[in-house]
């Protein structure tokens, strides 16, 4: 399994190159992006981030000082803005009460403890928590998303019923604990998911077609 996962990674890296994740000018901006990107595309998140930057609201203290209405107005382009406003404010309250509003203190926490704590924040699920740990905290935690799961199911590496933690364990139990590897691998899988492994897969031109063929797996249709 380790060999296969690494071969997939190296093939993707050679074909698609470094993905430069996570686009963000600060750790707080990465966290805000991870919360805003839930159920929307990145283009909408970028618009919201630009508005927040224009309002100089991209620090925990500056954002905490905003009224709920003002914050909602600024992040409106990211969609479901009332829900996301609450989620951002939930995170800010968590940061304040547990770490005195200090991100450096937060990321000094032990990864498993911090992950559990983040999962206790209303509106932060495993994918968002792990994105925060990996891309804002540089912690070796593999992020799983719908693209990753779809690719792995189609390559028969996991069952369609596999839970988040099981898919994550597949990577983390077989790959070295390497933040840079996890960072790039997740980003590459997202790139494949967006360009090739869509609901109707485009295996003909996909860089991972070789893995299907090498394991005698018929090309999936849907
Ligand atoms: S080869 Fe086909 S199934 Fe595999 S990742 Fe590419 S598009 Fe998806």
pLDDT, tens digit (0-9, with 9 covering 90-100), for 26-56: 999 999 999 999 989 899 999 999 999 999 9
Query: Is the Cβ atom of 152 under 6 angstroms away from ligand 1?
Result: no
Q: What is the predicted pLDDT for the residue at 221? A: 81
| pTM reported for the whole predicted model | 0.94
Average of per-residue pLDDT values in the chain: 96
Q: What is the Cα–Cα distance from 103 to 73, expressed in whole angstroms?
A: 25
Q: How confident is the model at residue 222 (pLDDT cuts 50, 70, 90)?
A: confident
User: Is 60 within the bounds of a domain?
Assistant: yes
Same-domain check for residues 182 and 98: no
Boundaries of domain holding 196: 2-20+143-214
Give phi and psi for 219, each to the nearest 5: -65, 125
Answer yes or no: do 153 and 86 share one domain.
no
Percent of the chain with pLDDT over 90: 94
Q: Which of 86, 105, 136 delimits the end of a domain?
A: 136
The first and second tokens of residue 104, run together, are 């450096």
Residues contacting residue 26 through CB under 8 Å, at least 6 positions apart: 58, 59
In 54-89, which positions are buried (b, 16+ CB within 10 angstroms) versus exposed (e)?
A: eeebbebeebbebeeeebbebbbbbbebeebbebbb
CB-ligand 1 contact for 147 (6 Å cutoff): no
What is residue 101's predicted lDDT score, i.e. its pLDDT?
96
Tell me, yes or no, whether 34 and 132 share the same domain.
yes
DSSP 157: S
At a CB cut-off of 8 Å and minimum separation 6, what does 203 contact? 196, 209, 212, 219, 220
Residue 124 pLDDT level (bands cut at 50, 70, 90): very high
**Number of domains forming the structure of the chain:** 2
Cα–Cα distance for residue pair 185/146, rounded to 1 Å: 14
Confidence tier at 178 by pLDDT (50, 70, 90): very high
Are residues 158 and 188 located together in one domain of the fold?
Answer: yes
Name the residue with the closest Cα to ligand 1, atom 1: 209
How far, in Å, CA of 215 to CA of 222, rounded? 19
**Is the same domain home to 11 and 50?**
no
C-alpha closest to that of 123 among 88, 77, 158: 88
Pocket test for ligand 1, best of 194, 195, 212 (most atoms within 8 A of CB): 212
Residue 220 Cβ inside 6 Å of ligand 1? The answer reads: yes
* CA 145 to ligand 1 centroid distance, Å: 16
- What is the helix (H) or strand (E) element at residue 165, kind and residue range? helix 164-174
pLDDT reported for residue 24: 86
Cα(139) to ligand 1 centroid in Å equals: 29
Domain boundary among 121, 136, 151: 136
Instruction: Tell me the pLDDT band of 23, cut-offs 50, 70 and 90.
Output: confident
Q: For residue 43, what is the domain's CATH number?
A: 1.10.340.30
Whether the bond into 199 is cis, omega within 30 of 0 = no
For residues 205-220, average pLDDT = 93
Name, in order, each residue with C-beta under 8 angstroms of 102's C-beta and a sequence gap of 6 or more: 95
Looking at the structure, tell me whether residues 182 and 158 fall in a common domain. yes
Task: Give the end of a domain, one of 136, 165, 184.
Answer: 136
CA-closest residue to ligand 1 atom 2: 203
In ligand 1, which atom is closest to the CA atom of 151? 5
Q: Are residues 70 and 99 in the same domain?
A: yes
Beta carbon of 197 within 6 Å of any ligand 1 atom: yes
Ligand 1, atom 8, lies closest to the CA of 197
Looking up tokens 């839930």 gives 38
Q: Say if CB 207 and CB 16 are below 8 A apart.
A: yes
């Amino acid at each position: 399994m380790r060999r296969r996962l690494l071969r997939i990674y190296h093939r993707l890296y050679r074909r698609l190159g470094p993905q430069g994740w996570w686009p963000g000018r600060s750790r707080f901006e990465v966290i805000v992006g991870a919360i805003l990107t839930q159920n929307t595309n990145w283009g909408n998140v970028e618009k919201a981030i630009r508005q927040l930057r224009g309002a100089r609201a991209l620090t925990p203290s500056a954002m905490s000082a905003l009224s709920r209405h003002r914050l909602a107005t600024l992040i409106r382009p990211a969609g479901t803005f009332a829900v996301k406003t609450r989620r951002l404010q939930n995170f800010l309250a968590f940061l304040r009460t547990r770490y005195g509003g200090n991100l450096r203190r937060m990321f000094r926490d032990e990864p498993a403890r911090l992950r559990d704590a983040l999962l206790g924040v209303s509106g932060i699920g495993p994918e968002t928590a792990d994105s925060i740990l990996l891309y804002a905290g540089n912690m070796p935690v593999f992020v799983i998303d719908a693209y990753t799961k779809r690719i792995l199911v189609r390559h028969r590496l996991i069952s369609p019923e596999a839970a988040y933690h099981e898919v994550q364990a597949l990577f983390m139990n077989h790959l070295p604990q390497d933040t840079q590897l996890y960072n790039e691998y997740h980003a590459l899988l997202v790139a494949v998911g967006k360009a090739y492994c869509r609901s109707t897969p485009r295996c003909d031109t996909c860089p991972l077609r070789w893995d299907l063929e090498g394991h005698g797996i018929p090309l999936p249709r849907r």
